Amino acid sequence: MSLLVTSFTFSIATNRALIIGIGKYKTDTGWKNIHGDADVELLKPKLEKHGFIVHTLVNEQATKEAIQKALMQLKEECQPEDKVYFHFSGHGQPITDVNGDEDNAQDEAMIPYDAGKYYIEGVYEGENHLIDDEYNQILADIKRKIGKNGELFMAIDACHSRGMERGEN
């Protein structure tokens, strides 16, 4: 009589979401208040109803540093076959393309809570803008990590958002 021992590894896909909504910007940034924060209230319960684990950043929580940290955390949590939803509602702005990868010589940027509206040399030089070149690499890493059977959906509700979702990868 022989004994057969078998090991099975099961991959359980998870639905994950990161929703960022900014309606009330830091007062000294020059941005007018809008209703981006309302999208969080609308989307979160709908996604949770469909089994998503939802992380949110709203208004003052949505600094550039916090958004980058949340994207990196999302990347670390992702597993093959996951469904991932990324949503940004807030201001958007084109800025000068510094690395020459844009046909129109402008990068697109999401505007975090702490990003200034105007370039003022020595005061604010765009350091808090979240440029498509910065976050597209993280999203490309997520796509690779979730694999061909995973799904990544990205929604950006911002002015000048055309092309924000495009990356080299």
- Measured CA to CA, the distance from residue 112 to residue 97 in angstroms comes to 19
User: The whole model's pTM is what?
Assistant: 0.86
Would you state the pLDDT for residue 168?
45
Catalytic residues: 91, 159
Print pLDDT tens along the chain (169 aa): 556 555 555 568 899 999 999 999 999 999 999 999 999 999 999 999 999 999 999 999 999 999 999 999 999 999 999 999 999 999 999 887 777 666 666 778 999 999 999 989 999 988 999 998 888 899 999 999 999 999 999 999 998 655 554 444 4
Q: In sequence order, which residues have a C-beta less than 8 Å from that of residue 44 and are 6 or more positions away?
A: 19, 54, 56
Would you state the pLDDT for residue 105?
63
